[in-house]
Structure 1
Amino acid sequence: MNCEACHLKELEVEHFEIREVLRCILHTVVFHRALGLVRPKDIDSELFEITYVQCGDAELEKKIDEKIDQFIGWVEKHPNKKSQICLSFYEVVKAKQAAWFGNKIERSYWEQWYINLNVVNSKAHSNKSNHTKVVVVPGERALEERSMRRAALEQALRDVLFQIINFVNEKKDHIPPVPNVEGVTFPYEITIPSSSDSSFGMDMFKRMLQTGHPTMLS
């Protein structure tokens, strides 16, 4: 099956912004792959002047938050590294019968979203500036620079949301028939870097982490 991939624009975030940014992006993508049995819920971002839509399913929200928690834990162990999260949608297919295992169940991926984050340490940046022969930035100027950085991130996040919307509007032929399963959205999985990953790249997708039963939203 043809698997479409969307590589979202990289976002530079601070540690405390990770959760809100990922919630906004992941829920936006999942909502656009909802199966229709949803109660859309508008969510006003806690950090940005942005409103996004959730599917209104408590179990889905829980699973997304669990993956975000895992990712934040990885970031804390691997500071100052660029990182990538992959949200994949797939079909469950039966492969050819194996000689001793019977029918093997496989996943046929038809769409993958790559979320790219560059997590920066604001304390590290401030420490670097303290070691230079530059006059200490006054409080008002520091607040102004922080406000400008937040505005830039907000605009970049808006760009990512528009990128998502443009992709789902332009790429439709690869979407499979609606599966005959109970669930809010198409079967999906969220992949984060594993603790054994020492570098940033495609290797992380060979060791996909799965939580619970990704074929169903139970």
Structure 2
Amino acid sequence: MNATHPTITIDLVLDRHTTREVLRAVLHSILFHRLFGTVKPQVIEVLDVTMPAVDDPEIKQLVQDKIDAFWKGVEGGVNKRGQIIVTFSEKRPRKSWFLIGEEEVPWEQWVVNAEIRQQPNAERERQKFNADLESALTKSLQTILSHTSSERGRSAVPLITNAQGISPFPFKVAVKVGGVEVG
């Protein structure tokens, strides 16, 4: 693996009514394609887009907690933009004279940039907003699929040496609003 890990960015413009549902679908889709343990599949329907999900209580709770943290961060402040960052790492022996043990080294990062806007009042504009959001959701699924099935996406994954649990690799989901980590 090269010294830098791939960073995949997904940009979304959301409204208050669909924010939670869209973010849940995108996060579940990323996790579905990057958790290499035994994953029970599930389907999420959002704005006529079918997206894969992980049917696991811990993953569902993690996703829900991060979406709640994002929502509180953008609702409480003036900034209506934020990021949800999913980082996948591998454990490697620490290379240091004084420290013994393992360190987590990232091998891939997903950045979901989300901006919440007021949905238009006029019916025609609202339909266009929803159509644009549906298109962005479809594009995000295409981005996830094309990256995870590409040579670059496959080569980023380290050797799987531990097949226990839902993921052989540690992963972290962070929420940032205004450049500050929340939740």
Would you call these one fold, judging by a TM-score over 0.5?
yes
More strand by share: 2
Q: 1:78 to 1:59 in 2, by over 3 A?
A: same
Map of 2:136 onto structure 1: 156
- Deviations, residues 173-212 of structure 1 (Å, cap 9, x unaligned): 1211124152213321111116xxxx44xxx5xx6x7x8x
CA RMSD of aligned residues (A): 2.3
Q: State the partner residue of 2:34.
A: 33
Cα distance in 2, alignment partners of residues 175 and 69 from structure 1: 29
Q: Does 1:49 align with 2:29?
A: no
Equivalents in 2 of 1:164, 1:150: separation in Å? 21
- Given the two structures, how large is their TM-score scaled by the length of structure 1? 0.73
Q: Mind listing any 5+ residue stretches in structure 2 that lack a counterpart?
A: none
SS of the equivalent of 1:191 reads strand
Distance 2:140 2:45 in 1: 17
Shift of 1:98: 5.7
Contact kept in structure 2, 1:31 and 1:55, CA below 8 Å: yes
Question: Is 1:66 the equivalent of 2:65?
Answer: yes
- 1:16 aligned counterpart, secondary structure: coil
TM alignment of 1:193-212, pairs within 5 A = 193=176, 199-200=178-179, 204=180
User: Aligned pairs, how many?
Assistant: 178
Contact 1:92 1:106 in 2 (8 A): yes
Superposition deviation, residue 121 in structure 1:
3.3
Q: What pairs with 1:1-218 in structure 2 (closer than 5 Å)?
A: 1-2=1-2, 3-8=5-10, 10-45=11-46, 48-97=47-96, 99=98, 102-122=99-119, 142-170=122-150, 171-180=153-162, 182-185=164-167, 186-193=169-176, 199-200=178-179, 204=180
Q: Per-residue CA shift, 1:118-150, capped at 9, x if unaligned?
A: 11134xx77xxxxxxxxxxxxxxx122212211
Aligned-residue sequence identity (percent) comes to: 30
The answer (yes or no) to whether the contact 1:80–1:121 under 8 Å persists in 2 is no
Runs of 4+ in 1 over 6 A off after TM superposition: none
AA matched with 1:165: L
Cα pair distance change 1:158/1:79, threshold 3 Å: farther
